[in-house]
Structure 1
Amino acid sequence: MSARDSDWDGVRLHVVTGKGGTGKTTLAASLALALAGGGRTVLLVEVEGRQGIAQLFDCPPLPYEERRVAGAPDGGDVYALAVDAEAALMDYLELFYGMRRAGQALTRFGVVDFATTIAPGARDVLLTGKATEAVRRRVGRERRRGAPRDPAESAPHVYDAVVLDAPPTGRIAQFLNVNAEVAGLARVGPIRNHADRVMEVIRSPETAVHFATVLEEMPVQETLDGVAEIGSVGLGVGAVLVNMVRPPVLYAEALSAAAEGDVDLAAIAGGLKAAGFEDAEAAAADLRGEVVDHARRVRVEAGMSERLAAADRPTYLLPFIGEGIDLAALHTLAAALREQGGA
């Protein structure tokens, strides 16, 4: 392990966000697998209704209940949950009012959709509330309607960590800052109390917001903007997870020359002839273009890496996997996170 072993000591809610196309859900799933190592139990939560977790773990669509989807190589389990606002509202009504049947009737009349459409902050409270409840939940303690937290509780938590596959970077601050969203809806009462309990977890040192990105201009800029925005509203900024990293295939001197278009075409053709290629000159010309493109991409990515360094956050590099993402690929990415001290 690297010196980063203690980066996330005490963090129990890992929120993963990122620009679309950066592999946010893939990295959230990989982080859950990494955190489950050593016999730990982790819950992976999605809130966007895309069933991305089920696809990654090659299992049936997730219902609104926690189900085991994978095990870590050295022990430990990953459970997953797909949260939707309607099911979360049923939980909320049952927990605080004992009104599940009434909630089901409201659903049939479309009241739930109407309410969460005109008050999107209420939807976010319901979605984040399920994740934060899982963070607080302890072994052997049944949830009691409206019961306050007992500060003296010493029972272990049901989950050692919860990973939340959150909305994209452009909406993450609004999504997590639920107290601000609810302020105009309810200043007192159970809804406000529920929001306060959600924010108690989200604003605590138990929570870190991680940013998934790739080494391209727009995702990097969104990451830097997101880091600044999350910090400005008082939430904990976690790591930068750089996805799809491909190592350079040339030495530094050759890369620098190739980025300027300086490639020894004769040397390439000679190597191809020695390897038995019949039309070595034509193949060398094609390869020259590939070499120049590669060198220029490496140069751009180096610049993007320098920009990300300005965020001054732990940064983890996840390899490009060209064969597609399946469970084996998730384990590869999880291993890379562990090797860099990310879990």
Structure 2
Amino acid sequence: MSRLQVVSGKGGTGKTTVAAALALALATEGKRTLLVEVEGRQGIAQLFETEALPYEERKIAVAPGGGEVYALAIDPELALLDYLQMFYKLGSAGRALKKLGAIDFATTIAPGLRDVLLTGKACEAVRRKDRSGRFAYDYVVMDAPPTGRITRFLNVNDEVAGLAKIGPIHNQAQAVMRVLKSPETAVHLVTLLEEMPVQETVDGIAELRSARLPVGRIIVNMTRPEVLDATDLELVRTVPRSTVARSLSSAGLGGARRGGHAERLVDPLLTQAEEYAERYTLEHDQRAVLAELGLPLHELPLFAEGMDLAGLYALARALREQGVS
């Protein structure tokens, strides 16, 4: 497994949930994982049922086997202050710039600067070591921007390195890209078995590959259980209504006579079966499209009653069972 795990996906596919479950799955057997949020939505705090995350690395969960999950919500303004202190030793001068509003102005106006700071902070966590020379975190999982923006987001430091030919900005941008374009990084895409998310996944993978960014896995989220297989569905399409009514009656659901309780159930039941058949065909076709991409493919179940902390641990267990750990 690469040490930097970037999770992207079309909006509504549950990429933040998958990123959180992945962080838990990787933090097994005593490992330490840092879960990084870059969009300022505090989605991680909501999933782990904790208070809003500050701009500091805070332990939010313990994984099976004693591993630990830390979380960090990166604030671009504070990240820029860190950057100014690290490379220019501004100290109190940097804080004065913040009070004057210059930091907010810079991160809002300067093209790509926010993404430079966000990716730079995540890569710093990947490279950081403690006094014994051991990596501070075994894995860093980034809840990244959506698929339509992910390639530009990760590749922004290439553009910066081209603009700043020398100096600390150039060196920092190159150091970040060395991490992002190396085997240390894997970009995973989350999708649903629906046409639009799958097509956006296909396009996103093509863009990532064109930019020479390392594509990892495809994770199909919110899959529903298979109630009927292809053989059952073919039978549903051909079975006479009278046979369905007699079967319902035999099951104790009323008489088969016309107007009886069983007879009234036939049409709604067959309509539901037809709707399921359409969904089954669509999902089967979308699985085939994803399989053609030649990447590891994983599926996570839908929790009909919504996601809570127990569900998050269940998703992490499902990922481990599928070899993602």
Identify which range, 322-331 or 93-102, moves more after superposition.
93-102
Q: Secondary structure at the match of 1:316?
A: strand
Residues in 1 aligned to 2:14 and 2:191: alpha-carbon distance in whole angstroms: 8
Residues in 2 aligned to 1:287 and 1:214: alpha-carbon distance in whole angstroms: 26
Q: Which residue of 2 aligns with 1:99?
A: 90
Judge conservation of contact 1:30–1:330 (CA < 8 Å) in 2. Answer: yes
Q: Which residue of 1 aligns with 2:264?
A: 282
Judge conservation of contact 1:245–1:317 (CA < 8 Å) in 2. Answer: yes
Residue 123 of structure 1: CA displacement? Answer: 1.1
Identify which range, 279-288 or 269-278, moves more after superposition.
269-278
Q: State whether structure 2 residue 205 is matched by structure 1 residue 214.
A: no
| TM-score calculated relative to the size of structure 2 | 0.93
**Structure 2: which amino acid aligns with 1:269?**
A
Q: State whether structure 2 residue 262 is matched by structure 1 residue 245.
A: no
Counting only pairs closer than 5 Å after superposition, residues 48-197 of structure 1 correspond to structure 2 as: 48-140=39-131, 155-183=133-161, 185-197=163-175
Deviations 1:91-145 (A, max 9, x none): 111212222422222223322232223323221110011111111111227xxxx
Residues in 1 aligned to 2:318 and 2:300: alpha-carbon distance in whole angstroms: 6
Q: Which residue of 1 aligns with 2:291?
A: 309
**Structure 1: which amino acid aligns with 2:219?**
L
Residues in 1 aligned to 2:124 and 2:147: alpha-carbon distance in whole angstroms: 23
Residue 210 of structure 1: CA displacement? Answer: 0.3
Identify which range, 265-274 or 102-111, moves more after superposition.
265-274
Q: Which residue of 2 aligns with 1:298?
A: 280
Q: State whether structure 2 residue 304 is matched by structure 1 residue 322.
A: yes
Residue 197 of structure 1: CA displacement? Answer: 1.2
Runs of 5+ in structure 2 lacking a partner?
255-260
Residues in 2 aligned to 1:110 and 1:236: alpha-carbon distance in whole angstroms: 37
Residues in 1 aligned to 2:10 and 2:295: alpha-carbon distance in whole angstroms: 18
Q: Which residue of 1 aligns with 2:38?
A: 47
Q: Which residue of 2 aligns with 1:256?
A: 234
Deviations 1:241-266 (A, max 9, x none): 000111321132122354xx445544
Residues in 1 aligned to 2:83 and 2:26: alpha-carbon distance in whole angstroms: 29
Q: Secondary structure at the match of 1:20?
A: coil
Q: State whether structure 2 residue 206 is matched by structure 1 residue 228.
A: yes
Q: Which residue of 2 aligns with 1:269?
A: 245
Deviations 1:201-251 (A, max 9, x none): 111110000000001111101101111111111111100000011132113
Q: Secondary structure at the match of 2:294?
A: coil
Residue 85 of structure 1: CA displacement? Answer: 0.6
Q: Secondary structure at the match of 1:116?
A: helix
**Structure 2: which amino acid aligns with 1:113?**
D
Measured at CA, do residues 266 and 179 of structure 1 come closer, stay the same or move farther in structure 2, by a change above 3 Å? same
Question: In terms of Rg, which structure is larger?
Answer: 2
| TM-score calculated relative to the size of structure 1 | 0.88
Measured at CA, do residues 249 and 138 of structure 1 come closer, stay the same or move farther in structure 2, by a change above 3 Å? same
Residue 267 of structure 1: CA displacement? Answer: 4.1
Residues in 2 aligned to 1:264 and 1:48: alpha-carbon distance in whole angstroms: 55
Identify which range, 100-109 or 261-270, moves more after superposition.
261-270
Q: Which residue of 1 aligns with 2:257?
A: none
Measured at CA, do residues 110 and 263 of structure 1 come closer, stay the same or move farther in structure 2, by a change above 3 Å? farther
Measured at CA, do residues 281 and 204 of structure 1 come closer, stay the same or move farther in structure 2, by a change above 3 Å? same
Residue 78 of structure 1: CA displacement? Answer: 0.6
Measured at CA, do residues 264 and 96 of structure 1 come closer, stay the same or move farther in structure 2, by a change above 3 Å? farther
Q: State whether structure 2 residue 31 is matched by structure 1 residue 20.
A: no
Q: Which residue of 1 aligns with 2:258?
A: none
Q: State whether structure 2 residue 181 is matched by structure 1 residue 203.
A: yes
Q: Secondary structure at the match of 2:141?
A: strand
Residues in 2 aligned to 1:282 and 1:60: alpha-carbon distance in whole angstroms: 52
**Structure 2: which amino acid aligns with 1:91?**
D
**Count of aligned residue pairs for this structure pair:** 319
Measured at CA, do residues 192 and 291 of structure 1 come closer, stay the same or move farther in structure 2, by a change above 3 Å? same
Q: Which has the higher contact order (CA 8 A, sep 6+)?
A: 1
Residue 332 of structure 1: CA displacement? Answer: 1.0
Q: Secondary structure at the match of 2:46?
A: helix
